[in-house]
Amino acid sequence: MALLEYENLSIALPGTARPVLDGIDLTVSAGEVVALVGESGSGKSVTARSALGLFPTGAHVDGHVRVDGTEVVGAGPAALRAIRTGTASMIFQDPRAGINPVRRIGDFLTEALRVSNGWSKGRADDRAVELLGAVGLPDPERHLRQYPYELSGGMLQRVMIAAALTAGPRLLLCDEPTTALDVSTQAEIMAILGRLQRERDLGMLLITHDIELAAAVCDRIYVMYAGRIVETAPTAQLFGAPRHPYTAGLLGSSPPLRAPAGPPARLTPIPGSPMGLLDSAPGCSFAARCRSARPGVCDRTPPPLEGHGTALVACHLAESLTATDNTATGEGT
């Protein structure tokens, strides 16, 4: 059984032309690192938040999300509390948005332990010091007495990771955990997350715009476009032979992590703009931006997510497009 499992999850908001999420199938096993990538507005954060039962207000939710076998859709407060304070934790993009600026770091970290577990202040402080040590903050005792404004963004994100580990979760949902940080701090935070994941055998869903980062740390990657999974494959395969023209476009528009010697490769943006919630398309959502799209096919019916080798791809042309075709589509030919 997967630690995190989405089965045909759809979320629709009133007054919109297309669902926010449209039949999402996704799994994360214990100890597995899985990336969810896609452009802004594709539904990555809504997907991650759904694992904690945090659905948009007024949304119509259909399908299933299970965390360690517990159904989240329609779950009552007790079941949700058990997931949020036990099995699963979430790390967000901006650490300052998730912490009360006028409370000390120590109080922030120990509150849950003292309230939920009934621990004494001394015992909870010891645990907080241990967790701050685990995320690589030197002099943790001093940090417990500090306020958030006294810490840099990178230090504060370490505090948030420590907070996420308080209850000993088995699943970590990381929503762009390094986007708000400078480049060298991004690398440090990713290294810490990677080490903790291995040490604690955590299942991890890593949401990122950065497909190269996903490649560096993940076992499998899901590519999302306009609320649908359009491709998923083991990392090496997705990079070596992207099947969906959108995946190929993403790869062609991001700078490589380890650039080869010589002049930098030309990056090619994907033409057009992402589809908003007020736009809908009868066929493939990507057809209007896809250089390979076939009129009368791609703009007529939505392509199902189907197996091609070890990949699942939602593209009418997945069999006929080769990696070379896809590279060509990304180069403005």
Ligand X SMILES: Nc1ncnc2c1ncn2[C@@H]1O[C@H](COP(=O)(O)OP(=O)(O)OP(=O)(O)O)[C@@H](O)[C@H]1O
40, interface contact from ligand X, Mg ion, none, CB < 5-8 Å by kind = ligand X
277 binds ligand X (CB under 6 A): yes
97 binds ligand X (CB under 6 A): no
Cβ-based nearer residue to ligand X, 217 or 297: 217
With contacts defined by CB under 6 A, name the span among 42-50, 157-165, 184-192, 322-330 that binds ligand X. Answer: 42-50
Contact 163, 157 (CB under 8 A): no
Q: What count of other Cβ atoms lies within 10 Å of the Cβ of residue 258?
A: 6
42 binds Mg ion (CB under 5 A): no
Cβ-based nearer residue to ligand X, 18 or 170: 18
With contacts defined by CB under 6 A, name the span among 38-46, 142-150, 285-293, 302-310 that binds ligand X. Answer: 38-46
Q: What count of other Cβ atoms lies within 10 Å of the Cβ of residue 331?
A: 12
Contact 34, 221 (CB under 8 A): yes
For residues 23 and 303, what is the distance between their CA atoms, to the nearest angstrom? 12
Which of 16-21's residues contact partners 24+ apart within 8 Å by CB, and which partners? 16/277, 16/278, 17/277, 17/278, 17/279, 17/280, 18/226, 18/227, 18/275, 18/277, 18/279, 18/280, 18/281, 18/285, 19/227, 20/46, 20/56, 20/59, 20/227, 20/277, 21/46, 21/47, 21/50, 21/227
| Closest distance of CB 167 from ligand X, Å | 25
For residues 133 and 112, what is the distance between their CA atoms, to the nearest angstrom? 19
For residues 186-215, which are near ligand X according to CB under 6 A?
209
How many residues make contact with ligand X (CB under 6 A)? 13
For residues 142 and 125, what is the distance between their CA atoms, to the nearest angstrom? 12
Cβ-based nearer residue to ligand X, 18 or 66: 18
> How distant is the alpha carbon of residue 52 from its chain centre?
13
50 binds Mg ion (CB under 5 A): no
42 binds ligand X (CB under 6 A): yes
40 binds ligand X (CB under 6 A): yes
Identify the residue among 18, 19, 37, 45 touching Mg ion (CB under 5 A). Answer: 45
208 binds Mg ion (CB under 5 A): no
53 binds ligand X (CB under 6 A): no
Cβ-based nearer residue to ligand X, 24 or 144: 24
State the residues that interact with Mg ion by CB under 5 A. Answer: 45
- Contact residues toward ligand X (CB under 6 A) are 13, 20, 38, 40-46, 56, 209, 277
